[in-house]
Structure formats: C-alpha cells, structure tokens
Structure 1
Amino acid sequence: MTDWFLNLTPVMQALVATLFTWFMTALGASVVIFFKTINRKVLDGMLGAAAGVMIAASFWSLLAPAIEMTENSGGTPWIPATVGFLSGGAFLWLVDKLLPHLHSGFPMSEAEGIKTSWQRSTLLCLAITLHNIPEGLAVGVAFGALAADLPSASLAGAIALAVGIGIQNFPEGSAVSVPLRREGMSRAKSFWYGQLSGTVEPIAGVLGAMAVIWMEPLLPYALSFAAGAMIYVVVEEVIPESQLARNTDLATVGAMCGFAIMMTLDVALG
C-alpha cells in the first residue's frame, strides 16, 4: 500500500475506496460499448457471485467485528449486532417501498416504490442504486472504524471489504447498461446510466465514515446496520434476479464462489 493512502484520514480513505467501487461499477457498465447483449447464464453466475460476496462481507467484515468490539468493551455482544442488523434491514425495506425502481427483466407494471411516470431507464438505474447504498455505507463504516483504533478494526480488513465490494460491482454495472442497450438505447447513454448507479457509493461511504467517527459508541450498531442493509438487498433483489431465468445451479455455484473469495480476502488480509 502506497504511503499517500496510508497518510490519508479515515474519511479520505473511505472516499478513495468507494471511488474504486464506483469505478468497478463503471467498468462493468462499459461492456455495453463492445456487446449489445450478454449471455444470461454468464450474468446469472456473476450476480450469484455478487450475492456471495455481499453475504460473506456482511459477516466477516461487519457483524464479526461489531460483536468483537462489544465484547472487548464489556457489553452484551448480541444486542448491538441484532439491533443494528434489523435496523439496517428495516431501513432498506422503507427505502424499497418509497424509492421508485424496476428490477432488470421485469415489465414496467412491476415497478416498485411510489408510482411515477419516470422512464424505464431511470427506474432500472435506481434499482441498482438501491443496491449500492448499503455497499458504500459498509465500506465507509469500515474505514471510519479505524479512527477508533480498535483491535478488531484493521486497515487491511477495510481494504479487503472495498476490494470485495468492487469485484461484485462489476456485474451490477453490466446488469444496468446491457438491458438498456438491448432495448435500443445508445451505447453512450447505456454506459452513462450504468455507471451513474454507482455514484451513490462515495457519498454513502463518506457519510458512513463521518458518522462513526462523530458517534464512536455507536460503531458496533453502524457496522451491524450496514450488514443488515446488505443482506436485505441480497435476499430481496440480487438472488431472485440471478435465478429469474431459472439458471439456479449456476447462480448457486456463483454465490458459493463469491462467498469463498470474500471470506478468503477478509481472513487473509484482515
């Protein structure tokens, strides 16, 4: 790791890390420049892998450190983990009900959230944006935890989380741009909407880092909150979308591989 990154404040490190995760979303969206379609089996395998990464990150990078922090401080370890986890899921449930969005592969009649006249492209972009809120928040909270100088919060672990989230952002960018291109939108516009869905991550990352620095006692709750939000997204959106074309075995194998990759990254680097 270069010295310039090590010398940054945790908030700036969170910004750099989430700019990387946004870049990976943009990189995934850029496949639309070369391909008008993408093999559905390939996409389902990648979405399954993304789900596996998010599930592993939720425990190894967020819940486990939250439990350890509470134990080290003499608290009851399951309380912050449970309260934060359920609060994160409840928050995403509320956003899911309010924010207009449409999952890839579904007709306009099945758009979720408040009814609106927004175009299909906007609704598809907002669906992936919804995925990226907890991802950016998770990375930001992980880097913000470094300011607390706790044994369970390590720079290597935060970097591993950012790398894992970045890897799974690649198929999410493709999942926006390719369907838009297939429906007749230009390459430039398809790419624009695909990368746009990832721009929320640096915002959520910086806010997450600042929040835990300002409210250090709430750190275990914040880590668990991010975990709950990510699990909600995985169960409610990513896994069902990966199995929409009934490539269930492929999506499941992808999820297993994604989990193993993220677990290896976190254990090896964290």
Structure 2
Amino acid sequence: MQYISSLSPVMQTLLATFFTWGMTALGAALVFTTKKVNQKLMDGMLGFAGGVMIAASFWSLLAPALSMAESGPFPSWFPAAVGFMSGGLFLWGVDKVIPHLHPNTPRAEAEGIQPYKRHRSTLLVLAITMHNIPEGLAVGVAFGSVATGNPEASIAGATALAIGMGIQNFPEGTAVSMPLRRDGLSRWKSFYYGQLSGVVEPIAALIGVAAVTLMQPLLPFALSFAAGAMIFVVAEEVIPGSQENGNKDLASMWLMIGFTIMMILDVALG
C-alpha cells in the first residue's frame, strides 16, 4: 500500500484498471478450458457481481459523496441526488443509442440504433463495454479524490473498490467469450473479444481522475454519477441476467455474498 501511495494519481489509476482489465481477460480465458460453463455457476457469478456493484455504489461512492457535500454550498443530499440520477440517465441514453446484444440473448433482440448491421461478436462486446464505463469511471474518481487531499478518501478505499470491480469483471469476460465459442468462433477469437470489453476501463478511469483533480468542486457529483451508472447496469442487466434461467434463489444468495464481501473490503480497508 505504501508503494501505491508513492505513485502519481494517473499511475495509481492505470495500475488499478489494468488489474480490472486483467480480471476480465482471466474470465474470458475460461474458453480455453471448456466450451460451456455450468449455467448455475454463471448465474451465481452474475449475482455475485451485482452484489459487489451495489455495495461499491454506496460505500465507495455515495457515502463519501454525502460526507464531502456537507462542507459545500448545497444541501448535502443535493450533489448525491443530482449525480446519481444523472449517471442512471446517462447509461439509459447510451443503452438506447449504441447497438449491442446482451449475452444469452437471441440476435433478434439486439438493442440500439440499427443493431442488425453489426456482427454478433461486436454487439456482445459493446454490451459489456457499456457496462464497464461506469466501473472504470468509479475507480478513476476514487483515486482522483485521494489526489485532491479530501479527508473522506483514502488509498485503501480506492484500492478496495478496484479489487471489487476486478472480482466482478471475471464473470463479465466469461459472459462474452462463452457465447461466441458456442457460436462457432475459435477459442482465440472468443478470448480476444471477451477481454476486449475491458479495454474501456482504463480510458474511463483516466477521464474520471482528470475530471476530479482539475475540477475538485465536482467530486461529490462525479462519485454519485458513477454510483448511479453502476446501479442502472445492475438493475437493467446484471440481476435480470442472473435470474432469467430459473436460478433465482441461487443468484439472490450470491448477490448477498458479493454485497457482503465488498462491504467488508471497503469498511476494513477504507
């Protein structure tokens, strides 16, 4: 932890998001060992990812935003409320515009503008890529808030967030590579497209760290924005996707396990 503290905010952010990208690639690499992952395992992993994201949204993002806003010019709830809703609305808009296809969904149910003109592999990668934007942004904002010297932020807390995001990226990489393998793509191509969805996280993270270090008054809004975007992803895709195959109880319990682990990580390290 002392070594991480000695690095610049940009290097801290890049290291953290290279880890989350690596976890996406690790999940995608399962395609080299099997052509099909047990559906109960996948649903449990998705439920776990949802729990991690929900816990991170509150403990790592919303709670610090509320504390930071107490010394600002607005009521403490205002930046959190505006940022949270803005994050959700942003992802809703992106969801309507960018062509994409959720894993395990028929090609006919692709969403966005003119999705029928895109290959299935491209649509799958775009779906997970959209979901990785708020995760990368959240990590960048967390490390950026540490760089501002805000007492509510800590290296340990930002690191805990990165670890949590990395853990939940594992099933996302698998969720892209496995359907592509079943569709007939080679193992290497399936892996390539699976890990490719994680490339956006370092980019989004750098945008986040730059925004909050250059415009410190925006920090509570930025933290809340990332939280709102992540909750939209959980509600719109992760939870429904984990339960659509009938494993509702299993997915729900793993969601609670993921929430608990992320809560412990954040509270213990932050």
Alignment of 1:250-261 (within 5 A): 250-261=250-261
Across the aligned residues of Structure 1 and Structure 2, the Cα RMSD in angstroms comes to 0.9
Give the letter aligned to residue 200 of structure 2. Answer: V
TM-score by length of 1: 0.98
How far apart, CA to CA, are the structure 1 residues paired with 2:2 and 2:18?
Answer: 17
Deviation of the 1:184 alpha carbon: 1.0
Q: Cα offset for 1:52?
A: 0.3
Give distance in 2, aligned partners of 1:2 and 1:171: 30
Do residues 148 (structure 1) and 148 (structure 2) align? yes
The answer to whether 1:103 aligns with 2:102 is yes
1:127 aligned partner = 127
Question: Counterpart in 1 of 2:56?
Answer: 57
Distance in 1 of aligned mates of 2:71 and 2:41: 44
Q: Tell me the amino acid that sits aligned with residue 33 of structure 1.
A: F
Cα distance between partner residues in 1 of 2:136 and 2:182: 28
Structure 2 length normalisation: TM-score? Answer: 0.98
The percent identity for this pair of structures is 67
Are 1:69 and 2:47 matched, yes or no? no
Give the equivalent residue in structure 2 for 1:268: 268
Q: Secondary structure in 2 aligned to 1:208? A: helix
Whichever residue aligns with residue 261 of structure 2, its letter is I
Mapping 1:135-214, distance limit 5 Å: 135-214=135-214
1:73 Cα deviation after fit: 3.8
Task: Give the drift of 1:75.
Answer: 3.9
Deviation at 1:57, TM superposition (A): 0.2
Displacement over 3 Å in runs of 4+: 72-75
Aligned equivalents of 1:189, 1:2: Cα separation in 2: 39
Distance in 2 separating the partners of 1:95 and 1:225: 14
Alpha-carbon distance, 1:10 to partner: 1.1
Aligned to 1:247: 247
1:224 is matched by which residue type in structure 2?
Answer: S
Q: Tell me the alpha carbon deviations over residues 69-90 of structure 1, each in whole angstroms, 9 at most, x when there is no partner.
A: 0114464110000000000001
Distance 1:207 1:126 in 2: 19
What CA distance in whole angstroms lies between the structure 1 residues aligned with 2:242 and 2:91? 20
Offset of 1:162 from its aligned partner? 0.2
